[in-house]
Each structure stands twice: as C-alpha cells, then as structure tokens.
Amino acid sequence: MDKVPAILISKVFSELRKSPQQNVSGIQAAMKRAASIFLHEVIDGESPEDYVRNAHLISGIPLSTLKQGMRELSNFLYSIDSYIRWILPQGIRLYDVNEELMEGVFWIPKGEILSVIAPGNNSSVHKSWLEALALGYKIILRPSMKEPFSPNRLLKSLLAAGVSYDMLALVPGDHSVAKELVEQGDVTLLFGSNQVIREYEKQANMIFRGPGYSKVYWHSFFDEMDMDRIAETVARSIAEDGGMKCTNASGLLITPGQKEALDAIACHLGTYQSSGLNDSEGNLPVFAQETAIQFQNYVKQLVQQAGSGWCSGNVDNLVLDFGNGTAALRPFLFKTNQLTDELRGFEFPFGCSWVYEASEQEALRLARNTLALTMITEKESLIRQAISDPSIKKVVYGIWPTFSSSEGFPHDGYLSEKLFNARGLFMRGKKDASIN
C-alpha cells in the first residue's frame, strides 16, 4: 500500500471541504448494502479469503479473530440504521443540510471532517468512525501500517455500495501524515499508547482511545459448582482473540485465599495454542521472534517486581518459537503482592494479566480507569458503585467475559457524544412547518 506524502494532505482536505455533502439517509442505505460486499465479494481482485490471509500475515492476528471481526463489521454495517436509533437522544433530529428546515431540536455536528488515526490490533475498532460516517461526517483515515487491510477493504466496500467519493479518504503514511491529520481535521479520533496520547493532549478537538486496562473482579461464587466456569471466563477475558483487544483483561482482582481458583484459570490459559502463521485453529498472536523475546523479558521484570511467586506457568517459557523467525506468546497470569502504578499501567498485545488479592472497597478503587469491567459477585451494591463511576466505561455483571456486549452498547461511550451539540430552532408562527 503506497504512502501518501504529508505535503499532499492539505490538498486532500481541500478537496473534501469543497465537495458536496451526501445526505445521511443515502449514506446509511449504502452502508447497509456494503455489509454484503465487505463480507462476500471480490473487491479489486481481493477475495474475502485473500483479505483475511493478508491481514493475518502482516499483523499476526489469529485467523479466527480476523474472520470473527469481519462478521462483526458486516453485521454492524447492515444494522447501522437501528444503531443510529439507539444513539440519537429522544426527541432530537439529526441535522442534514440536504433536508428542508423545520422547527425542532437538532443534533448539529461540531465539524465537517473527522480525522482518524487508526490502530492495527483488531478490526472491530473501525465501528467508531463508521458511526461518524453514518451521522454525516466526512472521514479521512490514516490506517495502521501493522494492519491496513481492514480499513482499505471497508472503504472500497462503502464506495462500491454508493457512499460518495466526496465522503471518504484513505491516506497511508508515517507520523508526519498523522500530525497533518490532527492539525487540519475539525475533530480527530486518535488510537494509540499513552505516550502517543501525551504528544497530542494539548491539541484541541481530540478524541483519544488509549489502552483499555480492562479488568475482572472475582468477588464471590454464585455457586461452588461455578468455579470452573468462572475460571474459564477469566481465561477468555485475558486470552480470547489473541489477547490483543482493549477489552481483553490486563488485571484480575480477587478475594483473598483463592489459590484453587487461580490454578483453575491457569489450566484454561494452557489450552490456548498455535502452530504458527496460517494455523486456522491457532488462537495466539504471532510476532517476529525478536519482538516476542523482548515482550517475554519485560514480563520477567514485572514478575520479579511482583514478588509473590505464583504464576500461571513458567515465565521463561512464554515464547513459542516456530524456528522460522516467528514466534507466538502464550497467555500468562502472575500474582503480585503490591499493585504498583507500573503494573496497573501496562498492557501487552497478547494475553497477559496481573492478579491481586483485594478487599471490597480496595478492589473498587483499583478497578477504576477501566474500559470494561467484569464483576463476578452476588452483591448488587457493588454493581451500582461500579456503574456509577465515570472512569469505568462498561460493567459486565456475572459469568461473562470482559468483551461481552449487546445491541446498541457503546464502546467508551458513543463517539457521537463528542461530535455533536444539541441546538434548538424556533420558527415563530411556523411550528412543524417547513421553509424554503
């Protein structure tokens, strides 16, 4: 995929700004049509199977994860109209420059163009800017060079389905391109590490999507017979989809004295395997061997600092070397006696989590700043405290993994909350009447 020189970004923005705005109903109808194109059709010579294979080979994301992500994106596109009904505040109309003017309360966009600095850890993150497109924003997107195939296929599917070429632009490039997108966009959606976010935190009109720091709080059993099912749920929260998503757990808070439960989690984590690239049954991420070894060495440092001695496996055996310059990383859980800021602030692109024994009130304090929190408890009061905490974006109640969701559920809030303002239009003597 050719990179766009940063010097040309101003021209792309200029073309987008002077081009006509496609009506929202037309965009949403095209998005529904794009669902089938994205999932089934050959696009510019690329079949769905080619797309999955190419994305897998360049990113190391498990094949099964990419296939599931493809289905999720297709379903999201097909149900976009119902999703928009979920997110529109009751009684508010979405403002559309192509529709006749009427009295009422309107959702007015804060800008015209959304710049997107996309990540490459999983394809489902692209739902966010698709939400903005469905609401009428023009999109200029810099894909991750780790996995550019998903946004590329999405854009081509949308254009083939009838979204106007004046609404979308894909601009592969390096950091200089990202900087231009931030400076020239009306609003910027930026995915990145804390280091990247700090670089841009003083910029206006930024929407940040950083590490998720998702967690599980195992407070109590629903029933003694549930221990193995809960242990499996915790393991899935850590390691499912390669452990690469921001909704995968990087922390486990547990009631003291539960070594049997930890051992059960370790058994389930041991079932995740891979035989390397192109393994259709593999569920571990694959890296360059050198990168995998670097991750293992860093985890060893964390384990040494943790000082408890309990681990789900041998920390010197995290790397699954395939002998061809590539390697997978086995999922890993380690106990800590002291939950430092450094431990709470790490998140790896594979299944890796700390575990800390905590009392109720300590656990709720430590569970803060979490994208997704699974709470395994019978105490409704704990659920109410968690859902009332603004730093916890989603609470999963019961024996369900952290990535569990349902129709219309937001991911770190609805993106549209940051893209629109509510404004009223009073037309004296012309209530509910249109004007030309």
310 and 354 both lie in a single domain: yes
Task: Give domain status of residue 239, yes or no.
Answer: yes
- Looking at the predicted structure, is the pLDDT value of residue 143 above 50? yes
Please compute the mean of the pLDDT values over residues 197-212 and round it to a whole number. Answer: 92
Sequence-distant (6+) residues with CB within 8 A of 116 are 128, 129, 139, 140, 141, 142, 181, 188, 189
pLDDT of residue 96: 85
Q: Are 16 and 185 in contact (CB under 8 A)?
A: no
pLDDT of residue 25: 94
pLDDT of residue 435: 47
pLDDT of residue 2: 66
Task: Give domain status of residue 138, yes or no.
Answer: yes
Task: Give domain status of residue 406, yes or no.
Answer: no
241 and 273 both lie in a single domain: yes
Q: Which domain holds residue 28?
A: 7-210+411-435
372 and 276 both lie in a single domain: yes
Higher-confidence residue of 90 and 376: namely 376
pLDDT of residue 429: 61
18 and 163 both lie in a single domain: yes
* Long-range Cβ contact pairs of 28-31 (< 8 A, separation 24 or more): 28/80, 28/81, 28/84, 28/134, 29/162, 30/158, 30/161, 30/162, 30/163, 31/77, 31/80, 31/130, 31/133, 31/134, 31/158, 31/161, 31/163
Q: Are 324 and 219 in contact (CB under 8 A)?
A: no
pLDDT of residue 176: 92
Task: Give domain status of residue 312, yes or no.
Answer: yes
The pLDDT tens digits of the residues spanning 205-224 come to: 999 999 999 999 999 765 66
72 and 150 both lie in a single domain: yes
pLDDT of residue 291: 97
Sequence-distant (6+) residues with CB within 8 A of 341 are none
Task: Give domain status of residue 242, yes or no.
Answer: yes
pLDDT of residue 224: 63
Up-side HSE of residue 144: CA atoms within 13 Å toward CB? 17
The span from the CA of 271 to the CA of 96, in Å, is: 51
pLDDT of residue 138: 98
Task: Give domain status of residue 1, yes or no.
Answer: no
Please compute the mean of the pLDDT values over residues 66-77 and round it to a whole number. Answer: 97
- Looking at the predicted structure, is the pLDDT value of residue 401 above 50? yes
80 and 121 both lie in a single domain: yes
pLDDT of residue 265: 96
Confidence of residue 302 (pLDDT cuts 50, 70, 90): very high
The span from the CA of 346 to the CA of 55, in Å, is: 26
CATH number at residue 219: 3.40.309.10
If you ran DSSP here, which 8-state letter would residue 43 be given? B
- Looking at the predicted structure, is the pLDDT value of residue 99 above 90? no
Confidence of residue 115 (pLDDT cuts 50, 70, 90): very high
176 and 243 both lie in a single domain: no
pLDDT of residue 1: 63
Sheet holding 168-170, edge to edge: 168-170, 138-142, 113-117, 187-191, 206-209
284 and 391 both lie in a single domain: yes
Task: Give domain status of residue 402, yes or no.
Answer: no
204 and 322 both lie in a single domain: no
205 and 221 both lie in a single domain: no
Q: Name the domain count of the chain.
A: 2
Task: Give domain status of residue 299, yes or no.
Answer: yes
144 and 30 both lie in a single domain: yes
The span from the CA of 286 to the CA of 81, in Å, is: 37
CATH number at residue 141: 3.40.605.10
pLDDT of residue 225: 65
183 and 276 both lie in a single domain: no
